[in-house]
Structures are given as C-alpha cells and as structure tokens.
C-alpha cells in the first residue's frame, strides 16, 4: 500500500462531490471526513476508512493499536487508581487510567515562598514512567524507543519529556508519534520526583539525583532546585528564566509528601496566564497569509468563543490543528465578558482530555 509522506497530503473521493483531504504532519495522520473529525480521542490515535484505504489496515492497526477505529484508542478516564496505585491499562485493552499525579496551583501572592524549593517550569510534556513505559497525564502511552528508556528503573518516576526552551510544539510532535522514531534523540526525560518513595521532598529529589548520577540513563536528567530566599529572589529568578525563553517557575513546599491531585504544596509562578481551548473552526488568512490559515476559532470550557491568530508558525498555518483539537494558548487577562485578551497560540495539547462546553456563549 502507498503511504503519505511527512508534510504531504492526498485526496480521496468520498460519497460527496468534494474529495476528503488526508495529511501526514510529523507522523500524525488526519482526514477531513466527519468520521475522523468527530472521534473524541487524541488526534494521533484516530483512524478512518479513508486512511485505511490509502495506508492499509496493517499500517493503521500498528499505528493506532487496533483494528476497530472506534475503539482503537478510547479517551483516558480521569479515574484515580485505588490505594494510590498508578496502574495504567495500555492501548491493548483500549482503556487508560490516568496516573495519580501531583498537580500545581497558581501562586496568587498569598503565600510566603521563602524557604521553598524553586525550579524552572519546563516547557515540555508531562510524563509518568511506570517502570516499563511512559504515560501522559490522561494515561495514554508515549511510545519511546528502547534506547531512550534504557537504564530507567522498574518503579515510577514523575518528570517531563523536554526538548529545550521554545521547542514545545516540536516536543509534542515527537512525543505523539507512534513509530518510536530517532527524533526522540532530541529529547530528555527530566526527572523531578520519585512518587513511590515514602519520604519528604528533599529525600525524593536527592534520590533522583543519585540515580541519574550513579546509573547514568542515557536520556535522563534530574531537575535542579534552589532555595527561594525571598519574594525579591523569586521575581529575579522568574525574570531570568523568562528572559532565556523559559515558561516560569515551580515551587515545592519543604518537607512535603507526594500526593495525587492539585495540592498547595506545589505552586506555579508565571508572568502570563494560560488555558486550553478546543478548535471549532478556521478563519482564512489575508495579505501575507492569503491562501492559508489566518486564525483559529476556539472555544473554552464555559462555551466562550474567540479567535487565536498570533503565535502560529508558517508551517502551522499551512497545516493547522484540525477541528476538535485541544490547544494551549497564553493571554494577559480576561475581559469583563470573560474573553482572554491578546491570546497567543502555544501548541497542541496532548496530555489533557477533550471536553464539551458547559454552555454556549457568543463571542464578545
């Protein structure tokens, strides 16, 4: 069977007058048909009869993990494992259970962070190593090559798949591929916690450091932390990191234990706000962008709709995120009507569950 080259597209005639467009963007295949668009599963694990017609059943089964396109990859159920367990059921069964990750609250200038442990907030993809394989926040597997995971331990580690500052979208494109490509050589697994170690944070971090230095996994690093001396020190470090293209800072409470869910023992500090939105449409470009995407029409969880037209690369305007895709964007503040001001596209979000709006609000 023929395949679709990376960055290329082909047309397949459907039942209507217009052909369907099939694309391969960084190893992620898509189709413009309703059957592909309306699947509420991650875009990298969707398939349809048109992709199967071009690529063949064997290639599609290998890519999405099954022969039934409706069940090849069901969305992860946001279920916390019992008794603190972090067992994940992989693609073989079509089900995924989200690992019980420690998640952060935003710092609202309401806590004195003097003495807390401070580190850079990495602009990568959160990854849970269960002792055998990487999983996303939603419990979907990341298919890393064996050489990438060599010498990682047989117990859980919490960390980030990181390709460097200002390389979030490139990192996402590598992580969501299903072919265990050599592109993983561009990434590192940056470890910042050992969840199963029943000990204060300082001891867990020291364990991560010793493991990386003694065992030397080829693609693993540990995340360095420093003590926050004052609010002035915090703001100075934040300015330094953001000046280098970093996303912000993370603060860990001294002596804190690892716990599942959002906790006030872990705080994120950034100069900007961010959120997720679902793509609901594409606006054609004009001027320099004539003939390609001008802006993404997106929708928040509360139904608020608006456009995101900045932050997109030329390549992303040529091959924009399909309708139904979850994206991350940055903004300065919300207007009185709840619309993000000056939104800027960051990238496709692959570690969050799709959503349906709780209400439908008109664009302000």
d(CA 113, CA 234): 8
Strands 117-121 and 226-227: antiparallel
Spot the catalytic one: 49, 53, 74, 121. Answer: 121
Please name the residues in contact with 320: beta carbons below 8 A apart, sequence gap of 6 or more.
279, 282, 293, 296, 312
Cβ atoms of 286 and 317 within 8 Å: the answer is no
Reported as type and span, the H/E element at residue 329 is strand 326-331
Three-state DSSP state, 169: helix
Note if 49 is an active site residue: no
Cβ atoms of 266 and 250 within 8 Å: the answer is yes
Instruction: Count the neighbouring beta carbons within 10 Å of the beta carbon of residue 23.
Output: 18
Instruction: Count the neighbouring beta carbons within 10 Å of the beta carbon of residue 287.
Output: 6
Please name the residues in contact with 199: beta carbons below 8 A apart, sequence gap of 6 or more.
207, 257
- Tallying the residues shown for the chain, one arrives at 364
Write out the DSSP string of 11-54: EE--SSSSPEEEEEETTEEEE-SHHHHT--S-GGG---HHHHHH
d(CA 197, CA 211): 13
Strands (E), 32-184: 102-106, 117-121, 125-129, 134-135, 141-142, 157-162
Q: Please work out, in degrees rounded to the nearest 5, the angle formed at the alpha carbon of residue 7 by the alpha carbons of 20 and 62.
A: 75
Closest CA to 225 of 122, 101, 120: 120
Cβ atoms of 177 and 27 within 8 Å: the answer is yes
Instruction: Tell me the catalytic residues.
Output: 121
């Amino acid at each position: 069977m023929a395949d679709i080259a990376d960055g290329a597209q082909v047309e397949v005639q459907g039942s209507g007058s217009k052909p369907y467009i099939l694309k391969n963007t960084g190893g992620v295949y898509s189709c413009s048909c309703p059957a592909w668009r309306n699947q509420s599963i991650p875009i990298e694990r969707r398939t349809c009869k048109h992709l199967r017609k071009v690529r063949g059943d064997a290639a599609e089964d290998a890519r999405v993990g099954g022969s039934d396109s409706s069940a090849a990859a069901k969305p992860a159920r946001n279920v916390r494992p019992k008794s603190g367990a972090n067992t994940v059921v992989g693609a073989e069964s079509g089900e995924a259970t989200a690992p019980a990750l420690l998640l952060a609250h935003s710092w609202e200038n309401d806590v004195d962070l003097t003495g807390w442990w401070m580190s850079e907030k990495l602009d990568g993809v959160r990854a849970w190593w269960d002792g055998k394989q990487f999983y996303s926040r939603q419990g979907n597997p990341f298919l890393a090559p064996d050489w990438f995971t060599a010498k990682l331990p047989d117990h859980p580690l919490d960390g980030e798949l990181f390709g460097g500052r200002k390389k979030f979208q490139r990192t996402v494109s590598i992580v969501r591929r299903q072919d265990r490509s050599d592109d993983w050589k561009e990434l590192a697994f940056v470890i910042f916690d050992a969840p199963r170690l029943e000990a204060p944070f300082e001891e867990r971090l020291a364990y991560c450091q010793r493991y990386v230095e003694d065992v030397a996994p080829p693609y693993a690093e540990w995340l360095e932390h420093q003590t926050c001396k004052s609010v002035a020190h915090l703001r100075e470090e934040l300015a330094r990191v953001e000046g280098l293209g970093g996303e912000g800072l993370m603060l860990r409470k001294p002596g804190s234990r690892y716990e599942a869910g959002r906790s006030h023992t872990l705080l994120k500090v950034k100069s900007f706000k961010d959120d997720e939105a679902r793509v609901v449409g594409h606006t054609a470009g004009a001027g320099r962008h004539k003939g390609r995407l001008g802006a993404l029409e997106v929708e928040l969880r509360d139904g608020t709709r608006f456009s995101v037209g900045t932050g997109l690369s030329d390549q992303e305007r040529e091959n924009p995120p399909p309708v139904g895709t979850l994206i991350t964007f940055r903004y300065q503040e919300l207007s009185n009507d709840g619309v993000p001001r000056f939104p800027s596209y960051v990238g496709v979000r692959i570690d969050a569950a799709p959503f349906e709006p709780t209400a439908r609000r008109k664009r302000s």
